Amino acid sequence: MLYRWPMGVPARILELMARATGDEKHDPSAHSTLDILWVLYDRVLRFDPADPRSEARDRFLMSKGHGPLALFAILADKGFFPTDELARFETWEGILGGHPDRNRVPGIEISTGSLGHGFPMAVGVALALRVKQVDRRVFVLIGDGESNEGSVWETALLAGSLELPKLTAILVDNRSSTRPLGDIAGKFAAFGWATTTVDGRDHDALETALSAIDPRRPTMVVAQVHT
């Protein structure tokens, strides 16, 4: 089913865009990730807004650090911080900047913005949880433009060889890459990943794909968002 979220969430994003005067709004990134992030936080992730660092939480890392507007709106909706904070987006007085900042924003796992950094960090988090025998999942969101970074493919190769079933990556394919990536799912499959491709606006398809776990390898969900 398409577009099943509280209408307040997209409305808040549009309001943030209208209010912001800085250069780091990255409007298209917010629109392309909204459905994916909503399904993650509304249907899949385990978290406690009152205790954002609880060891019982699943981890979500936003490697696609350009355009966190959708993430901020959803975190506010889920109670990580007051919705009034959204009105201070990109102001000196507020905690919400043009990129996610784990030191300022409750619910943010890592500070990102430099593309290609969050994906390898997610592998490190998944490895750490496995060593600690913590039965929690790790999700990481990357972009197709970001996938021009060599670190993305080095990470894909490493994660496939490490057999990390608790790691799920979501690649937003909105055709923003200046270099066509070809068969994205096929490339990750060749590196040892379980792969699936879904409509990045279809909430039920996203939920099914993001809920699935392969017992022997990490999972890549290619979310196609072409409108």
| pLDDT above 80 for 2 | no
SS3 label, residue 157: helix
Q: What is the CATH number of the domain that holds 165?
A: 3.40.50.970
Give the pLDDT of residue 81.
Answer: 94
For residue 173, is it within any domain?
A: yes
For residue 1, is it within any domain?
A: no
For residue 217, is it within any domain?
A: yes
Give the pLDDT of residue 16.
Answer: 59
Predicted confidence (pLDDT) per residue in 72-113, tens digit? 989 998 999 998 888 888 888 889 888 889 999 999 999 987
Q: Whole-prediction pTM value?
A: 0.89
For residue 2, is it within any domain?
A: no
What is the tally of structural domains in the chain?
A: 1
| pLDDT > 70 in the chain, percent | 85
- State the distance between the two ends of the chain, measured CA to CA, in whole angstroms: 16
Predicted confidence (pLDDT) per residue in 153-201, tens digit? 999 999 999 999 999 999 998 876 567 788 999 999 999 999 999 999 9
- 110 touches 56 (CB < 8 A): no
For residue 109, is it within any domain?
A: yes
- Looking at every residue in the chain, the average pLDDT score rounds to 87
Separation between Cα atoms, residue 179 and residue 190, nearest integer Å: 20
> Hey, what amino acid is at 87?
A
Q: What domain range includes position 183?
A: 8-224
Query: How many C-beta atoms lie closer than 10 Å to residue 18's C-beta?
Result: 8
